Structure 1
Amino acid sequence: MTRYLVVPGRGVSFADHWTRQWVENYPNYQWAPEPPGPPYIADERVAALDAAVSASDESAVLIAHSAGCLTVALWAARHAGPVRAALLVTPPYIDPKWTPQPDDDVFIGEVPRQPLPFRSVVVASRTDPFSSMVQFEGYARDWGAELYDAGDVGHLDSKTGFGPWSEGERLVATL
């Protein structure tokens, strides 16, 4: 049986967010970690993901949204485990020259840009406020991932109408 580890983004997802609905509706889906609020501290998130992956020898599919995609890339650069594939939904672009300011709630170093050691799909949005299509294409190329153009879906979150996301469920089934 496959485990599905849902890697949250920077903040707590709303009750109608597709990630929360999947965890609540499917018994083999679990948070990795339970959705925390800001700040996003990459080392803490990577450690929590590693604990979840390492909790079983059973293969896992990682399902990440937003900053959770960066958690997956950081985890894969530092750890190994029984991960079969990853769905990486609208990863935000972090400029390599960016330095967090004192009032920022994101603490991350440079985002790894080497191929992931498992099959992955980057889901891109043409209207995402945190990444452009060129930036999504760069992540997909560097991570060795397939690129899925989801169209004009904003950040693919509750604020942009996702709630249920049946196309995402179809993508997970292909992994």
Structure 2
Amino acid sequence: MRPIVIVPGLGNSGPQHWQRLWQAEMPDRIVAVEQADWDQPDFADWLLRLDAVIAACAKAPVIVAHSLSCALVAHWAAQHERPVASALLVAPADVDSDTHTPPETRDFRPMPMQTLPFPSVVVASSDDPYVTRDRAEAFAVAWGSRFVDIGAAGHINSAAGFGHWPLGRLLLDDLSR
């Protein structure tokens, strides 16, 4: 089985977030990128830490990113050539928008808009406070990703009522094949 790299976003994913629940369910298969500072992200350090985790994988991993880390993965893909099997990019935060993202995300600008060199799925909500549905779809088109709109689901995190998130697991399983 392919390894899975979990990449939490700004503020980290708490213990009830679907990313951490999946990690607890599959500890032999999932590794999470851990950042030095989850609240004041250092772009260069976050990029280095993501690269180190991917480099340590025995096989090309499946990346599972949330929020700000979708931008991180897009930047990483534009700068690195390590093998990645696929990526699940959930609730991508619009780092180019002062209206939708906080000042501490500005170093992640501009959002890369190049085709990703691996298959990917972008999952978005119609009422996400960090990105409009249309902008999330524009990311998916630019990245060459399949776009999945799950309706009014907030930021697709534990605060929005997402625990184990069965649909996400189905998407992950599909990308892992």
Q: 1:25 to 1:147 in 2, by over 3 A?
A: same
Shift of residue 145, structure 1, vs aligned partner: 0.5
Note the alpha carbon deviations across 1:91-144, whole angstroms, 9 max, x for none. 01122789x99x746532311110000000000101101111110111001111
CA distance in 2, matches of 1:43, 1:97: 21
**TM, length-normalised to structure 2:** 0.90
Q: For residues 80-99 of structure 1, what are the structure 2 equivalents within 5 Å?
A: 80-95=81-96
Matched, 1:78 2:91: no
Q: Which residue of 1 aligns with 2:162?
A: 162
Aligned length: 173
Distance (whole Å) between structure 1 residues aligned to residue 125 and residue 105 of structure 2: 24
Local SS of the residue matching 1:122: strand
Give 1:46's aligned residue.
47
Query: Does the CA-based 8 Å contact 2:64-2:89 persist in structure 1?
Result: yes
Matches within 5 A, 1:80-159: 80-95=81-96, 104=104, 107-159=107-159
Paired letter, 1:123: V
Q: CA deviation at 1:35?
A: 8.0
- What residue identity is the alignment partner of 1:61? V
Question: Does the CA-based 8 Å contact 1:12-1:35 persist in structure 2?
Answer: no
Note if contact 1:38-1:106 (Cα within 8 Å) is conserved in structure 2: no
Gaps of 5+ in 1: none
Match for 1:33: what amino acid? E
Asked whether the 8 Å contact 1:87–1:121 carries over to 2, the reply is yes
Equivalent residue for 2:10? Answer: 10
Q: Kindly indicate whether the alpha-carbon contact (under 8 Å) linking 2:9 and 2:66 is maintained by their aligned counterparts in 1.
A: yes
Distance 1:32 1:59 in 2: 15
Identity rate, percent: 36
How much does 1:22 deviate?
Answer: 0.9
| Structure 2: gaps (5+ residues) | none
Aligned partner letter, 2:15? A
The normalised TM-score by structure 1 is 0.91
- Aligned-partner SS, 1:86: strand
Change (3 A) 1:174 1:37: same
Structure with the higher strand share, 1 or 2: 1
Call closer, same or farther: CA 1:21–1:106 in 2, change over 3 Å.
Answer: farther
Structure 2 letter corresponding to 1:62: I
**Counterpart contact for 1:122–1:140, Cα < 8 Å:** yes
